[in-house]
Amino acid sequence: MKIRGFQKLTLVDYPNQMAAILFTGGCDFRCPFCHNGELVLHPSLTPEIPESEVFSYLEKRKGLLDGVVVSGGEPTLADDLDEFLSSLKKMGYLVKLDTNGSRPEVLSRIVSEKLVDYVAMDIKNSFERYPETVGFPKYDTSNVSRSISFLLSGQVDYEFRTTCVKELHDEKSFHSIGKIVEGAERYYLQNFVPNENTISKDCSPCSMEDLVKYSEILRNYIGNVQIRDMA
Q: What pLDDT, on a 0 to 100 scale, did the predictor assign at position 231?
A: 47
Report how far residue 178's alpha carbon sits from residue 29's, in angstroms, rounded to the nearest whole number: 22
Average pLDDT over residues 24-37: 92
Report how far residue 5's alpha carbon sits from residue 34's, in angstroms, rounded to the nearest whole number: 16
Q: Helix 51-60 crosses helix 81-90 at what angle (to 10 degrees)?
A: 20
Q: What pLDDT, on a 0 to 100 scale, did the predictor assign at position 35?
A: 86
| Inter-residue contact 21 to 67 (CB < 8 Å) | no
Nearest to 87 by CA among 119, 54, 44, 61: 54
Residues β-bridged to residue 23: 5, 71
Whether residue 75 has pLDDT greater than 70: yes
Report angle CA 87, 88, 89 to the nearest 5 degrees: 90
Write the pLDDT tens digit of every residue in 132-186: 999 999 999 999 999 999 999 999 999 999 999 999 999 999 999 999 999 999 9
The band of 40, judged by pLDDT with boundaries at 50, 70 and 90, is: confident
Whether residue 38 has pLDDT greater than 90: no
Whether residue 37 has pLDDT greater than 90: no
What's the predicted TM-score (pTM) here? 0.96
Report how far residue 139's alpha carbon sits from residue 177's, in angstroms, rounded to the nearest whole number: 17
Domains and CATH numbers, the chain: 3-228 (3.20.20.70)
Write the pLDDT tens digit of every residue in 110-137: 999 999 999 999 999 999 999 999 999 9
The band of 230, judged by pLDDT with boundaries at 50, 70 and 90, is: low
Helices (H) and strands (E) in the chain, counts: 8, 8
Report angle CA 82, 130, 74 to the nearest 5 degrees: 20
